[in-house]
Amino acid sequence: MNLEERITNAVMEKMTDGTVEELVKKNVESAINKSLDDLFSWSGAGKKMIDEKVKEVIVPVIEHHNFNQYIVKLDSVLTEIINKTSLAENKEILENFKSLMIEPDMKVIKLSDIFEKYCKYVAHDVDTDNLEACCDDGEPYYEPVTANMEVEHEDTWISSNNRCRVKFSCEEDENLNKELRLYKSKTDNNWNISWEMNAFCDINSLRNLSDFDIFLMTLRRGYIDVEMDTESEYADDIEPEETPEWSLD
């Protein structure tokens, strides 16, 4: 038997002993597994369909559930702790935590309203060490400071102009500069606050949170939408709440 005949016999043997059927079976199983993996991947149609069905069932349940009883219990416990502690920083931590637990009373907030909140934050927290003290009408006060807000869109092939950074800044005190990251879903014209925004990492940092930090974190935690009614704001007449100590010496 020559080489050609041996090859022919070997092929015929494999064609008739079930080897081909087994290979076809394995490849079909592999193709089905690959297809299912693609179907239920993060961008697959199957996962999107399941997500929609879960939302239809779960979201209404959450929306209609009354959590007030838990808030009351939490408020009572924290109030008791605050009244018993003598450490000022512990009181600050607990007060900030209580503020974080308050549910927002809106579904959508305008970006201009967030800027207005930032202006109040600047007035309350601006460092006055390098500000000029004035006394034109008998009552001492510090010269007005500025606040600025700019929206920077991230127009890349990844974000497709659906992401942006909102930068808040104070010329007189860079420590008050804040950044808010927003993204826009395909089904809504409003913007959502991204979880990429810096959040506190442990309970000790609660003492350092400002009212504006708590305000932003509460909006994010409450999934409050942001209406982009403006993309830039500027104020140069913010009066610091702190007043200088005036001396005739």
Other residues' Cβ atoms within 10 Å of the Cβ of residue 84: 8
Tally of CA atoms within 13 A in the half-sphere of 169 that contains its CB: 10
**Rounded mean pLDDT of 161-169?**
88
Q: What is the pTM of this model?
A: 0.61
What is the pLDDT of the chain when averaged over all its residues? 78
Burial of 217-234, coded b for 16+ CB within 10 Å and e otherwise, reads bbbbeeebbbebeeeebe
Q: Which residues pair with 109 in a beta bridge?
A: 226
Give dist(CA 132, CA 139) in Å, integer.
Answer: 14
Model confidence over 184-241: pLDDT tens digits? Answer: 876 678 898 886 555 444 445 666 778 898 888 888 888 889 999 999 999 999 999 9
Model confidence over 111-124: pLDDT tens digits? Answer: 999 999 999 999 99
